[in-house]
Amino acid sequence: MTLEAVLAALHIVAILTLVVFLSSQAALCRTEWLNAAVVERLARLDAIYAASAMVLVATGLARVFFGVKGMSWYISQPMFHLKITLVVAIAIVSIFPTIAFRRWLRQLRANGSLPDAAEVARVRRLVMLQAHVIPVVAVIAVFWARGW
């Protein structure tokens, strides 16, 4: 039981960390606020976001393989599959902002240029898409935990 509690707690901490750093990206990724310091910060925030996503996946897998319910229970649950599908979709979408933030940082360091407004808007839309899908995953988890 202690292992289950530890894994659940680490999973929740990873989720909260991910949400905090994604929210920070959403707040800063705006054309009107973008400057050299913000580009540096966005790249740092994205690295922490990625690390928290890896911890989230690792703790989720640990719960599936080592948790009390066991893998057979998880894979038999339709809500689990829906939740995992959305998490994979978020992960795929997150690749594009990560690439953009790294490119912006390289350009900034190479010649001091900032991205144009259209690119910032495009990346912000992808960050916001992730930020809006994550609560759906949480709602699915709540309903699933209550027997749906």
Q: How confident is the model at residue 104 (pLDDT cuts 50, 70, 90)?
A: very high
Mean per-residue pLDDT over the chain, rounded: 95
Rounded CA-CA distance 140/107 in Å is: 40
Per-residue pLDDT tens digits for 3-21:
989 999 999 999 999 999 9
Type of residue numbered 31? T
Can you give the pTM of this predicted structure?
A: 0.91
**24: its two tokens:** 């920070």
Rounded CA-CA distance 33/57 in Å is: 32
> Does residue 144 carry a pLDDT above 90?
no
CB of 97 closer than 8 Å to CB of 46? yes
Cα 134 to chain centroid distance, Å, stands at 8
Phi, psi (deg, nearest 5) at residue 130: -60, -45
CB of 55 closer than 8 Å to CB of 10? yes
How many structural domains is the chain composed of?
A: 1
Per-residue pLDDT tens digits for 14-65:
999 999 999 999 999 999 999 999 999 999 999 999 999 999 999 999 999 9
**Residue of 66, 73, 90 lying closest to 4 (CA atoms):** 66
CB of 96 closer than 8 Å to CB of 46? no
% of the chain exceeding 90 in pLDDT: 87
User: What residue numbers bound the domain in which 45 lies?
Assistant: 2-145
Phi, psi (deg, nearest 5) at residue 64: -65, -45
